[in-house]
Amino acid sequence: MSRFCDHLPYRLEQIAARQGVTIDRQKMSTWVEHAAVLLKTVYDQLRNTVLKSGYVQIDETPISVIDPEREGATRKGWLWAYHAPTASALVFDFNLSRVQESPKSFFESQGAGVIQTDGYGVYPIVFGGRKDIEHAGCMAHARRMWVNANESGDAAAPAVLAEIQKLYRIEAEIRDASPQERSAVRESRSTLVMANLHRLCQQTLAQALPASATGRAASYMLDRWPQLELFTKPNMGHVLIDNNPVERGIRPTAIDRKNWLFLGHPTAGWRTAVIYSIIGSCKLAKVNPYEYLVWALQRLATATTADVGLVTPLDYLAVKEQR
């Protein structure tokens, strides 16, 4: 808990020593591995929940890993995050590659519905040929490019940013509405804003240098227009305007990287992914991670595969509410 929730790595050894308790780092790593082995059942249930949700947001972040083939050296690995906004589930997958392996294998057998990502070029390759998947884009990423253009002094950027701001104001108004209500409002109001936005991007691209900040921003939006406007289409009220929730889910890993710096071995990646998935899903379900882990680990330690049942954070919440 202290390592993965409070971002305290090996300083735990020093904290324990001040209280007269000797706990070496290897033993703590062993505890994490044993917990991850037990929690793998929960991880698999969360993964199944994400795949069946019909709407998944994806993001990825780098993480340094000790390279066993080069003494004293590290290499880059990746934590891929798969978030189901409608199901309060977050699953991480560790992979040494940033190309197709993780998303392709994650959705190989299931995953029909909407997949929402940033503009990273791997995603169209993975999902472009899938008839059962609709690819949604992230307006926040598109907006960031226009912010950069605005900071460079481009005269066209303020008008584009003003239109994007209108979209976010509409989204703020309908945040607590039902998907059906959001879909209706977007169809009547957001589609008009998107049409203006598209026109501004076309006009800007015709006048801007392709390599300029403005040219890149306009090209980025126009190249991904079908993905960016998907949230305004009929029956897409459950789809968000951007990928920000999964970015928030992945943010704690960035804090941890500054503390424990790297994974000790590539084989440790899976257990890191398991623990992050459990804690991240607890936060989404508004469940105290410590209370959940006490409940889940006690149950998992004595259960068999046949009688373990459902043990996700949402299942714990349901049990707690019945008491």
Question: Is 51 in the same domain as 103?
Answer: yes
pLDDT, tens digit (0-9, with 9 covering 90-100), for 14-38: 666 666 666 666 666 676 788 889 9
285-309 pLDDT, tens digit each? 999 999 999 999 999 988 877 778 8
318 in helix, strand or coil? helix
- Tens digit of each residue's pLDDT (9 = 90 or more) over 87-134: 999 999 998 888 889 999 999 877 779 999 999 999 999 998 889 999
Residue closest to 284 by CA, chosen among 103, 53, 76: 53
Using alpha carbons, select from 110, 76, 65, 74 the residue that is nearest to residue 91.
110
Is the same domain home to 168 and 301? no
Give the pLDDT of residue 156.
87
Give tens-digit pLDDT for 91-101.
999 988 888 89
pTM recorded for the entire structure: 0.88
Whether 5 maps to a domain, the answer reads no
Query: Is 1 part of a structural domain of the chain?
Result: no
Residue predicted with more confidence, 253 or 194: 194
Whether 238 is covered by a domain: the verdict is no
Number of independent structural domains in the chain:
2
* Domain that residue 89 falls in: 11-133+244-322
Tell me, yes or no, whether 159 lies in a domain.
yes
SS3 (DSSP) at 109: coil
**Residue 216 shares a structural domain with residue 270:** no
Same domain, 193 and 279: no
Domain shared by 100 and 193, yes or no? no
The answer to whether residues 186 and 47 belong to one domain is no
Q: Angle at the Cα of 99 (from 37 to 143), degrees rounded to 5?
A: 105
Same domain, 112 and 209: no
Binned at pLDDT 50, 70 and 90, residue 7 comes out as very low
User: What percent helix, strand, coil does the chain show, rounded to 5?
Assistant: 55, 10, 30
275 belongs to a structural domain: yes
In a domain, 258, yes or no: yes
DSSP H or E run through 81: strand 74-84
Residue 6: inside a domain, yes or no? no
Transcribe 213-225 into DSSP letters. Answer: HHHHHHHHHHHTH
